[in-house]
Structure 1
Amino acid sequence: MDSRVQDAASGARVVPQMNAVVLDRFGGIDELSSRRIPRPEVGDDDVLIRVEYAGVASWDAVEREGYYDGVFGIASAFPYVLGWDAAGTVAAVGRNVTRFEVGERVYAATMPASRGGFYAEYGLVEAEFVARVPDRMPTEQAGAMAWDALTALSGLDLLGLRPDETLMVFGASGGVGHMAVQLARHSGIRVLAVASGDDGVTLARRLGTDDAIDGRKVDVLAAALEFAPGGLDAALVTAGGETAERSLRAVKDSGRIAWPNGVVPDPVTSPAAKVIHYDGDRIATDRLNAIIEASSFEVHIARTFPMARVADAHRALNDHYVGKLALKVG
């Protein structure tokens, strides 16, 4: 599909423009700037999303500083648009796309290095990675959900726990963590949430965890062994460090530990239980949506920033908050 239009006066082909937050080089927060850039052209298998909300995450700052440059085997091209998660409405579809109609509410996970990200009025995604927003979910929540929820779901899939088996979610008040708590409880798994701050503990308890502790104040290893005296069946780690490493001693030697790629630092000493490093499955949205529709699943949005205040959103990544940050784009 050719998204260019013809200028009536000159007959020249004009590429439609859009507002976006861009980087002209990698670096600090001051490198973020807003301006108009060409709107992406829709390929045969693509969905063009008119973005309403985009997620703002810790990896956005890492990417902004250039640490992902070349990591995915793709040369970085400028202007560079950040933003891995978004929700909005379908603006256009490619000729091979039959699952979506213009105007439908959708959300998606993308990889900015290859297609450009969602800090823009429009985002282009292959149709296989696009999903309808569940009827009961606000678009704002859906916009900050995709990668975190799919990472949580993929981790639980790898752990393969049965109902009433025990799981420690370390980092349970963060983006991946607070979604993992809900997905695990939906499957009948007994969850010990290790959160950050009184507000993090309150959030985890409200979301239905069996027990919640503040990892900064409590001896996590002792609390985990009290929760599961015979040892935990599994752990999902969304924040690394000395406390996380020590707490993993509570997992049975025969247990399993799911560790998403990008969670740092890695353990200095390998725990006795098997550690599985993994990425989120971008095409598991049908199963995720089924759980959302059948449960009280929610995405906790700590703060939402207008696109004009994207710099403040990136500064907020360094503050204490629970859940997710979001950017209001459209």
Structure 2
Amino acid sequence: MRTSAANSPAAGTPSVMKAAALDRFGGVEELALRSVRVPAVGENDVLIRVEVAGVASWDAVEREGRYDGVFGVPTTFPYVLGWDGAGTVAAVGRNVTRFELGDRVYAATMPATRGGLYAEYGVVEAEYVAHVPDRLSTEQAGVMAWDASTALSGLDVLGLKAHETLMVFGASGGVGHMAVQLARHRRLRVLAVASGDDGVELAKRLGADAVIDGRKDDVLAAASGFAPDGLDGALVTAGGETAERSLNAVKRSGRIAWPNGVTPTPRTSPAAATSSFDGDRTRSGLERLNEIIATSTFEPHIARTFTLDRIRDAHHTLRDHYVGKLALRIAFSDS
């Protein structure tokens, strides 16, 4: 019989946990290992024993305080970062019926409102939690939630049909490399604009029809060769001057989309219609993502994995060149 009482934890769940936390916003040096209370579980929540958390560029933005107040809640410290992660269910609220203790799950959360997943335990509303697909490792699932849901939402906004042409700009990044795979699942013809030799190789391996290095190749010339009459759509997952110029490759009847938070935000006025959007992290969005994963070769690519005590190294690496995602593996204490 499933546990029915709210806040009923798995045996051995402690009241205090280790977390990589901030006592104030600032640089990498503000990140430190702290002992903090395990978050309380509300009636609609899932408490996750976190095994792996994703480390992403927006974590650095948040660490610096640039999201302070944006989500309508006051900032409290210690502040635990970490927008996505995976692990096993340690407790559920009384209204939660989809999950059992011990289930392997992944989640997309917002640290400002509930506390993040750079910690041994994290609490997430059940609406934003999903079972890990059997064919993915917990590490892969731990870096996936926000990037994959953002990529899928972007393709929904563009609404392209099978065999139409799509440029994914930033195709070797977190959102971008997942967008390439989801676009191929929709049978779109994909021109991937990646970064570096390793980025080009990754995009090729993931099935892009054509791949160029945005740092050194002529994007407009490549797009003209790929789609002489103009591209049907573009998903821009990385900003900058080259991204701005690339938008001119989209035909007047085409569509351009970028996730909210891409910096710098594209400011040109191309002939095609433009949209910005947020990723759909709801139950229906994550379930749709899981259905795709179950019937495809989708795989999150992890560039490097760090242990929790090396969180500063992970954030330093955010400034470097890498492809795919960075992962943070949580080490558990015996107590």
Which TM bucket (shorter chain)? over 0.9
Identity %, equivalent residues:
73
What is the alpha-carbon distance in structure 2 between the residues aligned to residue 34 and residue 269 of structure 1? Answer: 43
Match runs of 1:132-147 below 5 Å: 132-147=131-146
For each residue in 1:77-119, what CA deviation from the matched residue of structure 2 results, as whole angstroms up to 9, or x when unmatched? 1010000000000000000000000001000000000000000
Q: Which residue of 2 aligns with 1:238?
A: 237
Q: 1:3, 1:41 within 8 Å by CA — same for their partners in 2?
A: no
Structure 2: tracts of 5 or more residues without a match: 1-5
Residue 234 of structure 1: SS of its match in structure 2? strand
The answer on 1:291 being equivalent to 2:292 is yes
For each residue in 1:200-247, what CA deviation from the matched residue of structure 2 results, as whole angstroms up to 9, or x when unmatched? 000000000000000011000110111000000000000111101101
Structure 1: tracts of 5 or more residues without a match: 5-14
Q: Which residue of 1 aligns with 2:16?
A: 17
Q: Which residue of 1 aligns with 2:152?
A: 153
Distance 1:210 1:2, change over 3 A: closer
For each residue in 1:269-296, what CA deviation from the matched residue of structure 2 results, as whole angstroms up to 9, or x when unmatched? 2211111110000110011001101001
Shift of 1:2: 4.7
Q: 1:117, 1:123 within 8 Å by CA — same for their partners in 2?
A: yes
Q: Which residue of 2 aligns with 1:214?
A: 213
The answer on 1:314 being equivalent to 2:310 is no
Q: 1:3, 1:16 within 8 Å by CA — same for their partners in 2?
A: no
What is the alpha-carbon distance in structure 2 between the residues aligned to residue 179 and residue 270 of structure 1? Answer: 27
Q: 1:194, 1:220 within 8 Å by CA — same for their partners in 2?
A: yes
Match runs of 1:57-76 below 5 Å: 57-76=56-75
What is the alpha-carbon distance in structure 2 between the residues aligned to residue 280 and residue 155 of structure 1? Answer: 8
The answer on 1:38 being equivalent to 2:37 is yes
Shift of 1:169: 0.0
Q: Which residue of 1 aligns with 2:251?
A: 252
What is the alpha-carbon distance in structure 1 between the residues aligned to residue 317 and residue 291 of structure 2? Answer: 32
Q: 2:8, 2:93 within 8 Å by CA — same for their partners in 1?
A: no
Residue 167 of structure 2: SS of its match in structure 1? strand
Residue 176 of structure 1: SS of its match in structure 2? helix
The answer on 1:120 being equivalent to 2:137 is no
Q: 2:8, 2:91 within 8 Å by CA — same for their partners in 1?
A: no
Structure 2 letter corresponding to 1:295 = S
For each residue in 1:93-152, what CA deviation from the matched residue of structure 2 results, as whole angstroms up to 9, or x when unmatched? 000000000001000000000000000000000001100000010000000000000000
Structure 2 letter corresponding to 1:58 = S
Distance 1:16 1:3, change over 3 A: farther
Q: Which residue of 1 aligns with 2:166?
A: 167
Shift of 1:3: 6.7
Q: Which residue of 1 aligns with 2:3?
A: none
Residue 184 of structure 1: SS of its match in structure 2? helix
Q: Which runs of 4+ in 1 moved over 6 A?
A: none
Between 1:266-275 and 1:17-26, the stretch displaced more is: 266-275
Match runs of 1:52-91 below 5 Å: 52-91=51-90
What is the alpha-carbon distance in structure 2 between the residues aligned to residue 3 and residue 163 of structure 1? Answer: 47
What is the alpha-carbon distance in structure 2 between the residues aligned to residue 52 and residue 257 of structure 1? Answer: 36
TM-score, normalization: structure 2?
0.94
